[in-house]
Structure 1
Amino acid sequence: MGSWKSTAAAEAYRCLLHADGREIKDARNEHVVRSVVSADTARAVLAAKGKLSTTELVRLRVRYFTDGLVLGSKEFVESIFEAQRELFGPRRKNGARRMAGAEDAFYTLRQLRIRPLD
């Protein structure tokens, strides 16, 4: 049995929550009987197969702003690393570490071992 990280269980679970929690209307399709997640939101999550956008990842995990020290493009993170080179050990060759789970190229100064949604 795979782990939560390796089996895309987070995406599947998010799809399940949105499918089960979608709004339900009455028989005439006029009034909402139960509204947890709007139908449009549920459709969007299911269309994305439960994956979060980069915007959602950053919004959900402020941790990358605090524990990652710096968040930005590879060039930006490298420039901060070079400016603060004396704070890092001699074996460290570069500063930019790719942000786990992001589709876009976001980098941090520290490699965080726990993924943003785990």
Structure 2
Amino acid sequence: MGGKVSAMEGYRLIYGGRSFDDAMAGYRLCLFGKGAKPKGEQDKDRGVIPEENLSEVIRTGGKVEMSELLRRRVRYFSDGMAIGSRLFLKEIYEQRRDCFPESRKARFATMKGADWGGLQVVRDLKVNLFG
């Protein structure tokens, strides 16, 4: 998972000063646990996480499995246009300027959903990251 250092440190402290990866696993367990519990009102129960999804997260101890990370990476390759360091993406942008609208500025998005080591993409994935 990527993010601001202060936010990452906050999660780490909330979850007992463990490593960031362990803190994220604990946070994921908490989110899925709360999300799988019905709210008790029909109009508020539409977003309940299915029991089998909760069971899977519990089975993995809150860690994201490699297959899930690879599925996300494939989506980044197909919809993100190009993956790499900011410098690499800027080179691609300048070499293939004809592929972008004139109004497009050289902006890139940090990959989300895992610790991608600072990798960025040309197109930010905002919808269905897990699809």
TM-score, normalization by structure 2: 0.48
Pick the aligned partner of 1:93 from 105, 119, 122.
105
For 1:109, the equivalent position in structure 2 comes to 122
Rg: which structure is higher?
Answer: 1
Indicate how the Cα distance of structure 1 residues 59 and 82 shifts in structure 2: closer, same or farther if over 3 A, else same.
Answer: same
Specify the SS of the correspondent of 1:59. Answer: helix
Between the aligned partners of 2:64 and 2:85, the Cα distance in structure 1 is: 19
Q: Indicate the residue corresponding to 1:16 in structure 2.
A: 55
Unaligned 5+ segments in structure 1 are 1-7, 20-41
Deviation at 1:60, TM superposition (A): 1.4
SS of 2:98's partner is: helix
State, as a whole percentage, how many aligned pairs show the same letter: 28
Cα distance change on mapping 1:116 and 1:110 into 2, 3 Å: same
Q: Which amino acid aligns with 2:110?
A: R
SS of aligned partner of 1:111: coil
Give aligned pairs, total: 84
Q: Where do residues 1-118 of structure 1 align in structure 2 (5 Å cutoff)?
A: 12=32, 16-19=55-58, 42=59, 45-46=60-61, 50-52=62-64, 58-61=69-72, 62-104=74-116, 105-117=118-130
Structure 2: gaps of 5 or more residues: 1-27, 33-48
TM-score (normalised: structure 1): 0.52
C-alpha RMSD of matched pairs (Å): 3.3
Q: 1:60 to 1:82 in 2, by over 3 A?
A: same
Residue identity in the other structure for 2:124 = Q
Aligned with 2:91: secondary structure?
helix
Higher helix fraction (1 or 2): 2
Contact 2:111 2:121 in 1 (8 A): yes
**Could you say which structure has the greater relative contact order, defined with CA pairs below 8 angstroms and 6 or more residues apart?**
2
> Greater strand share, 1 or 2?
1
Counterpart code for 1:99 = M
